[in-house]
């Protein structure tokens, strides 16, 4: 199986190069193609990409902050759509929310967030479509776990030191002897009002029973897709936990950080009311 990886700027090019080497390390029967910069000049692009598309079964678009509306990325996505079909073109979103694709050309494709479980689902799809030397489920999982730290390290390098430090401070640092524990709620990542309401729905009895995005959306009268986008964001902040299933929709439950957040938020609100 051959995979075409598309990019549009320096950051997405770096991500494409990393994926181009990482995916075959996990599934050795797979080949990847990351178009070099010089192939995108003049008529070289038409001949080079057309040749690659004839041999490719899947395409990954590397989407990063700042390149969602890039003319080149969207142009190449259009060509890939005609050649492979929407189901075989996957935008991979690194530090980009699905909602940011709304009303744009990339919204028609089944996007994937750069996150461990979603990356694994891509590899499952690739492995299932590999005709020769397909890995067993057990072998795929073990190989994925072996190579995942390498991908994480390379992606962290791409994001840079400043972005890495920002993510590290998403959880508040509790300094010794401050005697102001309630301030930790304000130091947490800012949540939208609707996200707090979603946490409260997950907190409702039976608390330990995971709920689907549709169930949460029904409770709050919000479309399931919008709920999924917010819950995925909360999962990356460690406020909720996701539960994956093969034959039914993904479900969510409240994580310890989410429970602690609600508890401290309620305490702070009670203190303000006095």
Same domain, 144 and 207: no
Please determine, for residue 213, whether its predicted confidence score (pLDDT) is greater than 90: no
CA–CA distance, 193 with 175 (Å, rounded to integer) = 28
| Residue 162 belongs to a domain | no
Are residues 6 and 62 in contact, defined by beta-carbon separation less than 8 angstroms?
yes
The predicted structure's pLDDT at residue 244 = 72
The predicted structure's pLDDT at residue 47 = 60
CATH number at residue 201: 1.10.10.10
| Residue 137 belongs to a domain | yes
Average pLDDT over residues 189-217: 82
The residue among 130, 151, 172 that closes a domain is: 151
Residues of the chain with pLDDT > 90: what percent?
29
Cβ count within 10 A of residue 213: 23
Pick the residue with more confidence: 144 or 1? Answer: 144
Average pLDDT over residues 202-209: 74
Please determine, for residue 177, whether its predicted confidence score (pLDDT) is greater than 80: no
Same domain, 199 and 147: no
Same domain, 106 and 146: yes
Same domain, 115 and 226: no
Confidence of residue 181 (pLDDT cuts 50, 70, 90): very low
CA distance to 99, 128, 247, per residue, from 7 (Å): 20, 25, 33
The predicted structure's pLDDT at residue 257 = 85
Residues of the chain with pLDDT > 70: what percent?
78
pLDDT in tens, 130-148: 878 889 999 999 999 999 9
DSSP state of 105: G
Same domain, 117 and 219: no
The residue among 131, 151, 171 that closes a domain is: 151
Same domain, 23 and 130: yes
Pick the residue with more confidence: 204 or 51? Answer: 204
| Residue 202 belongs to a domain | yes
Are residues 267 and 182 in contact, defined by beta-carbon separation less than 8 angstroms?
yes
Same domain, 134 and 9: yes
pTM of this structure: 0.57
Please determine, for residue 48, whether its predicted confidence score (pLDDT) is greater than 80: no
Same domain, 138 and 188: no
Q: Supply the mean pLDDT for the chain.
A: 80
Per the structure, the complete domain to which residue 48 belongs is given by 2-151
Confidence of residue 207 (pLDDT cuts 50, 70, 90): low
Range in 51-65, 84-98, 152-166 with the lowest mean pLDDT: 152-166
Number of folded domains that form the chain: 2
Hey, what are 156's tokens?
Answer: 């962290």
The predicted structure's pLDDT at residue 189 = 52
Average pLDDT over residues 243-250: 70
Same domain, 131 and 189: no
Q: What is the largest CA-CA distance in the chain?
A: 72
pLDDT in tens, 4-24: 998 888 899 999 999 999 999
| Residue 223 belongs to a domain | yes
Please determine, for residue 28, whether its predicted confidence score (pLDDT) is greater than 80: yes
| Residue 169 belongs to a domain | no
Torsion sign across C-alpha atoms 51, 20, 96, 37: negative
Q: In what order do the strands lie in the sheet with 240-243?
A: 211-212, 251-254, 240-243
The residue among 151, 174, 192 that closes a domain is: 151
CA–CA distance, 198 with 185 (Å, rounded to integer) = 17
| Residue 175 belongs to a domain | no
Same domain, 91 and 210: no
Average pLDDT over residues 202-208: 74
Please determine, for residue 166, whether its predicted confidence score (pLDDT) is greater than 80: no
Hey, what are 97's tokens?
Answer: 């929310």
The predicted structure's pLDDT at residue 112 = 92
The predicted structure's pLDDT at residue 123 = 94
Confidence of residue 185 (pLDDT cuts 50, 70, 90): very low
Cα-Cα-Cα-Cα dihedral of 58, 142, 209, 248, to 10°?
Answer: 30
Same domain, 12 and 143: yes
Same domain, 243 and 192: yes
| Residue 170 belongs to a domain | no
DSSP state of 228: H
CATH number at residue 82: 3.40.50.10140
Q: DSSP for 89-109?
A: EEEEESS--GGGGTTSGGGGS
| Residue 132 belongs to a domain | yes
With CA atoms as reference, report the closest residue to 127 among 113, 111, 142, 110. Answer: 142
């Amino acid at each position: 199986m051959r995979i075409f990886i598309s990019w549009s700027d320096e950051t997405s090019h770096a991500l494409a190069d990393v994926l181009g080497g990482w995916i075959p390390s996990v599934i050795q029967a797979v080949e990847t193609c990351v178009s070099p910069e010089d192939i995108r000049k003049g008529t070289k692009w038409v001949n080079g990409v057309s040749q690659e598309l004839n041999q490719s079964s899947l395409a990954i678009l590397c989407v990063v902050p700042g390149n969602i509306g890039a003319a080149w990325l969207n142009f190449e996505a259009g060509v890939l759509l005609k050649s492979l079909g929407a189901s075989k073109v996957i935008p991979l979103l690194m530090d980009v929310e699905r909602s940011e694709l709304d009303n744009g050309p990339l919204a028609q494709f089944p996007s994937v967030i750069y996150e461990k479980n979603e990356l694994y689902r891509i590899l499952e799809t690739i492995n299932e479509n590999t005709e020769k030397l397909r890995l067993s489920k057990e072998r795929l999982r073990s190989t994925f776990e072996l190579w995942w730290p390498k991908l994480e390290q390379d992606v962290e390098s791409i994001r840079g030191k400043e972005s890495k430090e920002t993510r590290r401070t998403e959880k508040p640092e509790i300094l010794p002897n401050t005697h102001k524990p309630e301030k930790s709620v304000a130091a947490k990542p800012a949540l939208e009002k609707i996200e707090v309401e979603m946490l409260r729905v997950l907190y409702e009895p039976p608390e330990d029973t995971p709920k689907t995005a549709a169930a949460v959306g029904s409770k709050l009268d919000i479309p399931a897709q919008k709920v999924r986008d917010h819950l995925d964001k909360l999962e990356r902040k460690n406020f909720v936990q996701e539960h994956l299933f093969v034959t039914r929709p993904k479900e969510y439950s409240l994580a310890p950080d989410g429970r602690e957040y609600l508890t401290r938020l309620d305490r702070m609100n009670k203190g303000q009311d006095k």
